[in-house]
Amino acid sequence: MTMIQTPAAEMSRSAADLLARARELAPTLRERSAEIEKARTLPLDIVETLRAAGVFRMCFDQEWGGLGLTSMEQTEVVEALAYGDASVGWCSMIGANLGIYSRFIDQDVARAMFPNPDMIVAGLLQPSGRAERVPGGFRLSGRWPFGSGINHADWIISGAFVFEDGKPYASPDGSNPHESRQFMVPRAHAEVIDNWHTTGLAGSGSSDYTFTDVFVQEEHTFSFDKVYGAPGPLASPDAFTRAMCGAPLGVARAALDYARDIALTRMDRMAGKPWAELYRVQVALAECEADYNATRAGVYAAMTREWDVLTAGGTLDDLAPNDRAAIPVSWVHAFRMSRSIVSRLYDLLQTWSILQSSPMDRWMRDTATMRQHLTAQDLILQSAGAYLAGGTPAFGICLGIVK
């Protein structure tokens, strides 16, 4: 096992520094992928290396001691880490979102909760629990799946429906007949259920977890319709999902480079030709490169248009409808096309793919698992299509719609 160490002096101070460090880490992460997968969670030395490098502070503003990376820069970092190991890229993206969530909490409270920007968050935002209103806050109970990175998190974010006197609580403004909120709870209060035995992304440690009658003070809860932090592109309801597609894109790039390296060295014994001269190899590599380039360009183009409008002081409503819809649609396409690329390259390499020692085997399983995430489902397409057609999006938050 290769130990990863990052002296404090190597702390990244800019987007370029962090991206360079992520790329430097990728070969060692690749070397340790089998270990990560077997452990079904990230080894603590890797977590601390990511923390020391500044990965988990990339969403906090510089005035908080963070790096203040743009969504595009965050996605590049996630890509670089996922190029080494998918689970590391995935957990880095999830864990770094604390800087985004902090914008929706009273800022004095948030600074007390998060005294340094290297803290890590995990949890599920979908309202899977029950929160009973009590004086000063809530009593939170329930079970949530998919707590990616929960074994090394500092805080847990969890969505829950609100009740009062045992009855569904309606929002005071009448906007929601049964209000749901996000609840921030220290990791120590969660019970983790060791059930993360999966096809892929095994190293992400995305186990279920529970809270049982845990008191959460009012100030530690929030909804995405009210911003307390400084306005800006990351103070937007969809901000926590933008960098997610960096994980499948990073894996697709890794698979492409791996397949090309094999094509440069292999001989077809039946044909008596090098792989580099085989028509089927040439076409497959070119097709996959074309699909990857178009997919990645779509992600960054949609994200950049959104970022430019929000940086200029606009809102998501100032985006042209097709530009706003392009953002979640590009996520779906990134997950689906990355899986398609890996699958085609797996078939191209044939029996060189099937051994568990082959990275193609792991990438096939990782992309198959990532493809099942909500951000890759038809629900996102329905929401974008409904928005374009003037209908009702079923999952409006993917468009930044919270009411």
- CATH number of the 239-399 domain: 1.20.140.10
Q: Tell me yes or no: is domain 8-104 CATH 1.10.540.10.
A: yes
Given a cut of 80, whether residue 8 has pLDDT beyond it is no
Residue 102 tokens read as 């902090």
How confident is the model at residue 270, as a pLDDT?
Answer: 72
Q: Residues 342-398: pLDDT tens digits? A: 999 999 999 889 998 899 999 999 999 999 999 999 999 999 999 999 999 999 999
Residue 177 tokens read as 């007949």
**Residue 220: φ, ψ to 5°:** -95, 15
Q: How far apart are CA 20 and CA 14, in angstroms?
A: 10
Strand extents, DSSP E, 27-170: 121-122, 127-134, 137-144, 155-164, 167-168
* Domain boundaries, given as residue ranges, for the chain: 8-104, 121-222, 239-399
How confident is the model at residue 271, as a pLDDT?
Answer: 72
- CATH number of the 121-222 domain: 2.40.110.10
**Residue 258: φ, ψ to 5°:** -65, -45
Helix or strand or coil: residue 128? strand
Segment 273-302 shows an average pLDDT of 96
**Distances in whole angstroms, Cα of residue 350 to Cα of each of 9, 179, 337, 346:** 45, 52, 20, 6
How confident is the model at residue 60, as a pLDDT?
Answer: 97
Burial (CB count within 10 angstroms: exposed 0-12, middle 13-18, buried 19+), residue 57: buried
Q: Residues 103-146: pLDDT tens digits? A: 999 999 999 999 999 999 999 999 999 999 999 999 999 999 99
The model carries a pTM of 0.95
How confident is the model at residue 352, as a pLDDT?
Answer: 85
Percentage of the chain lying above the pLDDT 90 cut: 90
Q: Residues 158-190: pLDDT tens digits? A: 999 999 999 999 988 777 889 999 999 999 999
